[in-house]
Chains A and B, each alone.
Chain A
């Protein structure tokens, strides 16, 4: 199974601050995704990314969110001005040609 790591494992931030969550695939993958899971709720799709472009995004992924792959390996999710309701686990996922998506361990974001 492909491996992906995420940093940090836990991020605590003040409301209104910017955060950047990072995803590092161990092997070479083409497709990248971000999902989030608010405590006690289901895993929700945020965005998919391929060939340095967003392929699809959900309603959650508004102007406060952005993604990029700045150096060809790390895949980042930026939240420009965090809100209390952004507190959640954020999961990066990766896939190759077939849409079997493999998830990272997640970053727990706490907004105070």
Chain B
């Protein structure tokens, strides 16, 4: 079983829709959870950084973590064409620095105008 599983998509939705992106993981030692956005041939851009279970909201983005189910989600409200990108879930075992991040394979999202 892979450490982090993410549906690769592609996912195509109309502008203004609510988008739900998800990842599952197998290692219960993961404590810190992240979502990155990556445009084609660019570096990953950190969107959300959360610790343990619960919700975190930032503008149109909401990150949700359910450690009991080993399941994390990213919701995008009022989606825009500029949100079209690949979204990477990521996690690590420790919040202390120099801890490696394990990435999902990414979900390709397309927002249709």
Q: Which residue of B is nearest A89, CB measured?
A: B41
Given A91-B43, A103-B44, A105-B42: A98 and B102 interface contact (C-beta under 8 Å): no
* 0/1 interface trace, chain A 1-45, chain B, CB 8 Å (1 if under): 100000000000000000000000000001101010000011111
By a beta-carbon cutoff of 8 Å, the part of chain B in contact with chain A is 32, 34, 36, 41-46, 49, 88, 90, 92, 94-106
A-B contact pairs, 29 of them (CB 8 A): A1-B45, A33-B98, A33-B100, A35-B101, A42-B88, A42-B105, A42-B106, A43-B44, A44-B103, A45-B102, A48-B100, A56-B98, A91-B44, A95-B97, A95-B98, A97-B97, A98-B95, A99-B32, A99-B92, A99-B96, A99-B97, A100-B34, A101-B46, A101-B101, A102-B46, A103-B44, A103-B45, A103-B46, A106-B42
A62–chain B nearest beta-carbon distance, Å: 16
Residues of B within 8 A of A99 (CB): 32, 92, 94-99
A91–chain B nearest beta-carbon distance, Å: 5
Residues of A within 8 A of B105 (CB): 41-42
Q: Does A66 contact B (CB under 8 A)?
A: no
Residues of B within 8 A of A35 (CB): 101
B33–chain A nearest beta-carbon distance, Å: 11
Residues of B within 8 A of A104 (CB): 43
In order of increasing CB-CB distance, the 9 nearest A-B pairs are A55-B98, A103-B43, A45-B100, A31-B97, A43-B103, A48-B98, A42-B105, A103-B44, A105-B43
Residues of B within 8 A of A43 (CB): 44, 88, 90, 103
